[in-house]
Amino acid sequence: MPKQELLSTLKNIKDDIAMANVEEAIKALLHFVRNDYPHTDYEQEIILLSQQFHTILKQERTRTINSANFVEQKNRITKALLDIIQVLQENITPLVTQTSLSQQTESLPNPPQASSNESKPKLKVDDLVAFVHPPKPKIVLKASNIVKTYGRFSNFKLSVEELELKLGTITALVGENAVGKTTLLRILAGELAQTKGCLEYPLFQNNKRLNWRKIKQQIAYIPQHLPAWQGNLYQNLCYAAVTHGIKPKEAEEEVNYIVHRLGLVEHLAKSWRELSGGYKLRYALAKALVWHPTLLLIDEPLAHLDIRAQLVVLNDLKEIATSGRYPIAILLSSQHIHEVEYIADNVLFMQNGQLNKTPKDAVIEYHHFELNCSLSKQELKKRLENSPIPCHKVQYTGMSYILTTANTISTLQLQQWFIEQDISLSFFRDISQSVKTKFYEKK
């Protein structure tokens, strides 16, 4: 990550603290020192502060701490966070430069209030180069001519000509229900065999013959309907890490990191039954991420989340995918089109078992606008027919209108026409580059 982006990230974290978004600031700073400015001592310091913060939050809810003491403790924690940020800011400028990396060999400074007097490990210049100038994305998965049929038991046919997933990228898979999204995810995860076609996992296979035992150690698959966990949540997370080759002591460190990184620490004492649907998904995500998979496949991750939780999870996935230390390839299916388009590098549209790519830089033949107003469909069509706006189609979805116009019509022109006609709009959105248009092409 370039120096300017590092400093900008720290400024955003300081802004969160200033706006009293302490929990979000802790998560962001923890991610920063793990992935963008790696140093174990900072990580442990922040986890300790996170534990202290959640402790006083619980005490406030249970009224076991008075207001004055709560404010005092909170201020102490935020000051410690700001002290860490200040040290990072002061040392990033001389440490991270794009012109003289080979000359920068100084060790990172000790974190504030560090208890150990031992010398801190140095950040190697080679590691720093990887963060400032990350390599081109590597191909994690290649699928070609994948076909899945069920013989005489079903008329359904899945057909995927080509699919490529790269490290550090997010690919969104959208489409109506029962078009094959889950089937495709299960095939890629090795849970369902394709009828024919070729699957390749270049980063963790040495030949064309797939060693699924080895491959599945690198793939995390989170289905839409999550299986129940039995027993202690913390122990489940540790077990997931250990069974994927992480040593027991390191597993505890990884679990502590991911629990605090995803904001789950307050729910560790609960059983699986006590978790809401949203937190069950977030714990399943923690269980998948704690052992650093190379490929993450998620089926409808936003289905059980409220709007705020959706944004939190999507932003977490974006940061996790592009991690400088543990980048992964993510493929997720979702019906929340606009939300996933915001974070996705690529969007795939599936219809009747067929997979279609929708590149963001594709040539736009028509412009599509989604809006809502007080006019009926007939009234709106009549107004547009007598206007200078060349409108090819007016569709009503039951909740909004989709207007298809010539690609020469801009957002500003159409909005101006509505103003001149004194037609009030409750909302307006240009969806010309959104995969949402695919749902209305033949309607």
Ranges of each domain in the chain: 3-110+121-132, 139-357, 366-440
Strands of 268-415, DSSP E: 295-299, 329-333, 346-351, 354-357, 366-373, 391-396, 401-406
Tokens 């007097």 correspond to what residue? 117
The pLDDT value recorded for residue 106 is 41
Q: How far from 229 is each of 224, 236, 240, 275, 409, CA to CA, in Å?
A: 15, 8, 12, 11, 54
d(CA 82, CA 90): 12
Tell me the helices (H) and strands (E) count for the chain, helix number first. 14, 13
Distance CA 232, CA 251 (A): 15
CATH number for the region 366-440 comes to 3.30.70
Decide if 139-357 and 366-440 have a common fold: no
| Distant-in-sequence, close-in-space partners of 157: CB < 8 Å, separation ≥ 6 | 147, 148, 149, 353
How would you write the pLDDT of the chain (443 residues) with one tens digit per residue? 678 888 999 999 999 999 999 999 999 999 999 988 876 678 999 999 999 999 999 999 999 999 999 999 999 999 999 999 999 998 887 654 443 444 443 444 444 444 444 444 444 444 444 444 455 669 999 999 999 998 877 889 999 999 999 999 999 999 888 899 999 999 999 999 999 999 999 988 777 788 888 899 999 999 999 999 999 999 999 999 999 999 998 999 999 999 999 999 989 989 999 999 889 999 999 999 999 999 999 999 998 888 888 999 999 999 999 988 899 999 999 989 989 999 999 999 999 899 876 555 566 889 999 999 999 999 999 999 999 999 999 999 989 999 999 999 999 999 999 999 999 999 999 999 898 888 887 65
pLDDT at 107: 43
Secondary structure element (H or E) that encloses residue 36, with its range = none
Q: What is the pTM of this model?
A: 0.84
Q: Which CATH architecture has domain 139-357?
A: 3-Layer(aba) Sandwich (3.40)
Q: How far is CA 373 from CA 227, 335, 394, 401, 428, in A?
A: 44, 24, 13, 8, 9
Q: What pLDDT is stored for residue 361 in this prediction?
A: 55
- Please answer whether residues 396 and 378 qualify as being in contact, where contact means their C-beta atoms are separated by less than 8 angstroms: no
CA distance 434 to 60: 45
Q: What is the largest CA-CA distance in the chain?
A: 80
